[in-house]
Structure 1
Amino acid sequence: MKTDIVFYDAQCPLCQAVKKVVMKLDWNRELRWFPVQSVSETTRTKAARYVDMYDEIYVLSKEGQVSIGFQAIRKILSRLPALAWLTPLLSFSLLEIVGTAAYRFISSHRHQWFGRLSLDKALPR
C-alpha cells in the first residue's frame, strides 16, 4: 500500500468539507479517501473491533497501523507538508486529552449541527 486510507462518513457535510480542504493540502497525494458507506460488510465487521466506522474517522496507514478519532486527525496532519509541524505539538499529554475530548464532542454532534446528506447526494453515481 503506497498511501494511507482515510475512512470517512460521506453523508456528513462537515466530513465532506474537511476532506475537500485536506485534499488541497495533500500535495504529495499521501491520502486516499474512502467513504464508509462503500465499505463491504466483511470489512465493516473486521473494523468493528476498532470502532464503529460511522462514529469516528479512522486511518489505515501505509505501514498497516490503524488510527482512530483524534489520533487519525494527527496521522492525517503528519502527511500534509504544510501542517506536519503540528503533529509533535498534538502529542503533548494535555493537548491529546483536550483534542480527543473535543474530537469526540464534535463527532457526536456533527449530524445535529450540520445535517446528514442523503446517500444519493453523498455518493453520486
Structure 2
Amino acid sequence: MEMIALFDAQCSLCQNTKRLFQKLDIGKKVTWMSLQEYERKGFSPQFKAVDLRREIHVINPDGKVLIGYWAVRRLLLLSPITCLFGLVLHLPFVHLIGNRVYRLIAKNRYKLNKRKCEDNNCSLFEE
C-alpha cells in the first residue's frame, strides 16, 4: 500500500497545501486524493465526513492514520527541503504547541482565505 493524503478539494488552503507538498515530494511517495473522491469511491467508512473536512488525513503504507498536525509532520519528513523542520517537530513537547497551531489554522481557514473562498466552503466548520 502507498501513502495516501486526503485533503478537502473545496478548500483553497487545502488545495494550496497539497500543491506545495506535491512539489516538495521529489520521490513521489504520496498519492493525493480529495476527500470527495475518497467518499465517492466508497472507501472504508473509518472516517467521519466531518473529520475529513476538519483536518488533513494521511494513511501510511502500514495502514496507520495520521491526522492534522501529525500528518503534516510526517509529510515534512519526505522532502530534503523540509526534512529538518519535520525533525524539529519530532522533538519532545513540540507537539504541544504544533498541534494547537495546526488546529487554530484549520479552524480559522475561512478567515485566513476569505478572498480565495468565494463559495464559503472553508467556513463549513467555522465556530
Identify the TM-score tier after normalising by the shorter chain. Answer: 0.7 to 0.9
2: CA distance, partners of 1:74 / 1:5: 14
User: Tell me, what secondary structure is at the counterpart of 2:53?
Assistant: coil
TM-score (norm 2): 0.80
The residue that corresponds to 1:43 in the other structure is: 43
Structure 2 alignment gaps of length 5 or more: 120-127
- Amino acid aligned to 1:46: Q
Deviation at 1:89, TM superposition (A): 1.3
**1:13 Cα shift?**
0.7
Q: Which residue of 2 aligns with 1:65?
A: 64
Mapped partners of 1:100, 1:64: distance in 2: 22
8 Å contact from structure 1 (residues 90, 96) kept in 2? yes
What's the secondary structure of 2:83's corresponding residue?
Answer: coil
Deviation above 4 Å: which 4+ runs of structure 1? none
1:121 maps to which residue?
none
The offset of 1:74, in angstroms, is 0.7
CA distance in 1: counterparts of 2:28 and 2:73, whole angstroms: 17
Cα root mean square deviation, aligned: 2.1
Alpha-carbon separation, structure 1, partners of 2:118 and 2:92? 35
Matching residue of 2:28:
29
- Give the secondary-structure state (helix, strand or coil) at the position aligned to 2:58: strand
Distance 1:113 1:4 in 2: 28
1:9-46 deviations in Å (ceiling 9; x for gaps): 11111111111111111110011111111122653632
Gaps in structure 1 of 5+ consecutive residues: 119-125
TM-score of the superposed pair, with normalisation by structure 1: 0.81
Q: Determine the structure 2 residue equivalent to 1:101.
A: 100
What is the number of equivalent residue pairs in this alignment?
A: 116
| SS, match of residue 99 in structure 1 | helix
Query: Which gives a bigger RCO, structure 1 or 2 (Cα 8 Å, sep 6+)?
Result: 1
Equivalent residue runs for 1:8-27 within 5 Å: 8-27=7-26
